[in-house]
Amino acid sequence: MMPPAIEILKLRKTYDGKKGSRKEALKGIDLEIPRGAFFGLLGPNGAGKSTLINILAGLVIKTGGEARVMGHDIDTATRAAKLALGVVPQELVLDTFFTVRQALDIHAGYYGVPKAKRKTQEIIDALGLSDKADVHSRRLSGGMRRRLLVAKALVHSPPVLILDEPTAGVDVELRTQLWNYVRMLNKNGTTVLLTTHYLEEAEELCDTIAVIHQGEVVACDKKTAMLRQFDSKQLVITPSQPLAVVPASLSNWTCELTPEGRLSISYKPSKYAVGDILAAVQAAGIGIRDLTTKEADLEEVFLHLTHKKAA
């Protein structure tokens, strides 16, 4: 049986602070990311996401536990583990003395990729850097620098790609182009680990989600299963005439009036059928001109999990 793309067992990291204080960034977490997954690692600032990524990348020394990338232990098979990873960091750190093309060729050389097997031009084209290929990185915009960071992570064709806030502060065009390319990589077998504060991105892209909070994994499941567990739905009704008050007969549900006179009803799908609610609305003498429904999204699940943990 093939090992998972990333396997983490009882991983701990404690930082020493001032006057003998200690900060426990990771509290013995377990995590398994299957090969070929598009995996979202979500959490508030300071939750431990970057610490986890930096341990996998060999930039931070763990306090305890185990971590493996494509079956390679990060301690005993460090070189093989690093070769299996492509990491796009949050920080825009680039060597300003090289052009885009030179930077990619040099980075490929670091990984021992022979010149004949380098995919420099292919990556440049895929990430929309063609017209900047011979421009020094110091002359690139923030968005173009972000593209270059992604390109550098791909020069050795890693089976696992880690994207740490890859679209922070970049334009819509870059996001679309980047995600189209990453989707293609994932479809062709590359495992993707994404951290992002744009929860709508994670909901659209990822098949599996883990939420980390205060150094612990508080949830990990298939995205669809995670959303199903959040038993909440909203029905918004546009009445024939704007409402001034909520009829008392609808007290079984949480109802609110919008400033436009629409009726917003929150309910549990496991307990009530939408047909029963609509029947009650009509029985209250409310004519229905239009209606929409909204299911729980990843943002609601995320807030519920992190607030629950904080409490």
Mapping DSSP to helix (H, G, I), strand (E, B) and coil, where does residue 171 land? Answer: coil
Q: Residues 194, 206: contact at Cβ < 8 Å?
A: yes
pLDDT tens readout for residues 232-257: 788 999 999 888 888 888 988 899 99
- Alpha helices by DSSP H, listed for the chain, are 49-56, 78-83, 100-110, 120-126, 142-153, 172-187, 199-205, 223-229, 274-283, 298-310
The full set of domain ranges for the chain reads 6-227, 231-295
Report pLDDT for 238. 93
What is the token pair recorded at 218? 């508080």
pLDDT tens readout for residues 106-154: 999 999 999 999 999 999 998 889 999 999 988 988 888 888 999 999 9
Q: Nearest 5°: phi and psi at 118?
A: -75, 145
Report pLDDT for 308. 63
Q: Residues 9, 30: contact at Cβ < 8 Å?
A: yes
What residues in the chain have per-residue pLDDT under 70? 308-311
pTM to 2 decimal places: 0.82
Report pLDDT for 309. 55
CA distance 2 to 4: 7
Fold of the domain spanning 6-227? Rossmann fold (3.40.50)
Report pLDDT for 94. 80
Q: Look at domain 231-295 and name its CATH class.
A: alpha beta
CA distance 158 to 146: 18
CA distance 149 to 143: 10
User: Of 282, 233, 286, 296, which Cα lies nearest the Cα of 262?
Assistant: 286
Dihedral angle sign, alpha carbons of residues 290, 295, 299, 303: positive
Report pLDDT for 242. 85
Q: What residue type is 227 in one-letter code?
A: L
